Amino acid sequence: MSLDRYREKRRFDATPEPRGRRPRPKAGGPGGRYVVQRHRATALHYDVRLELGGVLVGWAVPKGPSLDPAEKRLAIHVEDHPLEYFDFEGLIPRAQYGAGDVIVWDWGRWLPDPSVDDAEAALHAGELKFRLEGEKLHGAFVLVRTSGPGGRREQWLLIHQRHEDAVEDWDAAEHPASVKTGRTNDDVAGQDG
């Protein structure tokens, strides 16, 4: 777990994003916080980030997570982010990495599935089963790597597992507001820009 790539990509005198402190593995049980940020950059995507090993590990999901188990959502692995990114909402200025507006689209707690002994090892092996308990997202999910490991744009799928929390045809686009402030991406773009 390292923030080197995160920091290499950004100029902290030009972006409101946090530089972050040293990664701090949390004490206590498995799992931790999660956040999903709706990010209108060059293309709209939803950044799904799980607290793990003292950082936020993340995937950019172009169509967003779904509660419909029939939807297998492409998820591009992205660089680790600092824990301080958890509640980041704001406008990344033009010409900066990731330029565009960001809202805290969902947040809550995640837990590895009881079958998972070591979540970091599971991610290295290319499959993590976990639960989300958030404001918009609930229930069992799996992240499965579909491209070879390594490389800068590993491809994964994010899939809701079939069970009682599943909702057919559930679409992220119908739930656009921030759970932190109630703002939309347009609000953030207008207010901060």
Interface positions with Mn ion (CB under 5 A):
39, 47
Smallest distance from Mn ion to CB 86, Å: 14
Residue 107, φ and ψ in degrees, nearest 5 = -155, 165
Task: Select the residue whose beta carbon is closest to Mn ion and give its number.
Answer: 39
Smallest distance from Mn ion to CB 169, Å: 25
Q: What angle do CA 83, 89, 95 make, to 5 degrees?
A: 100
Q: Where are the alpha helices (DSSP H) in 28-173?
A: 119-125
CA pair distance 45, 36, nearest whole angstrom = 10
Nearer to Mn ion, 38 or 131 (CB): 38
Nearer to Mn ion, 27 or 173 (CB): 173
Please, which residues have CB within 8 angstroms of residue 94's CB and are 6 or more apart in sequence?
A: none
- Other C-beta atoms lying within 10 Å of the C-beta of residue 174: 7
Nearer to Mn ion, 91 or 140 (CB): 91
CA pair distance 63, 34, nearest whole angstrom = 18
Nearer to Mn ion, 8 or 117 (CB): 8
Smallest distance from Mn ion to CB 134, Å: 18
Smallest distance from Mn ion to CB 168, Å: 28
